[in-house]
Amino acid sequence: MRQRIYIWIAVAIVLLLVFSCKTRYVPVEIKTTETVEVHDTTITERLVPYKDSTATRDTVSFLSNPYAYSWARYSGGILQHSLGIWPNSVLIVTVPHYMTVTKRIEVPKIVEVEKKLNWWQKTKIEIGGWSMIMNILLVSMMIVRWLRKKGGARNL
């Protein structure tokens, strides 16, 4: 009978030791910023219409490009030359421009957080404290009893 009690006490102690508290990992976000520089900007400007004419003794010609045109006509020994800009011509100029763009990056970070105790764990802690006091009292009583029995401590 006594051996069964000792076995049940040992099983209870092992179970109390196995089911203990542990910490839990909770990811927490850290917000950082990253800066990117953009170095190009385009500016659009409309060209002003422009014409130029000249007369000379030469051959007939016609020239054209995306922005302007030119024609020349020969009549009576005189060459008439005309230069013009197309009415809806547009000039695109690229100007370096420094612009800073800031974007947020969220990086997960693991922070160790203690898990809150449930009622059973709190009860085990409370009972454990009382059992430690009881064990100390029991051991001290056994020592006093042993000393009295032995006869070494007469005043106890």
- Give the Å distances, CA to CA, from 82 to 11, 76, 111, 127: 112, 17, 79, 109
84-103: pLDDT as tens digits? 888 877 766 666 656 666 67
- What pLDDT digit, counting tens, does each position of 109-134 carry? 776 777 888 999 999 989 988 999 99
Radius of gyration of the chain (CA): 50
Predicted TM-score of the model (pTM): 0.28
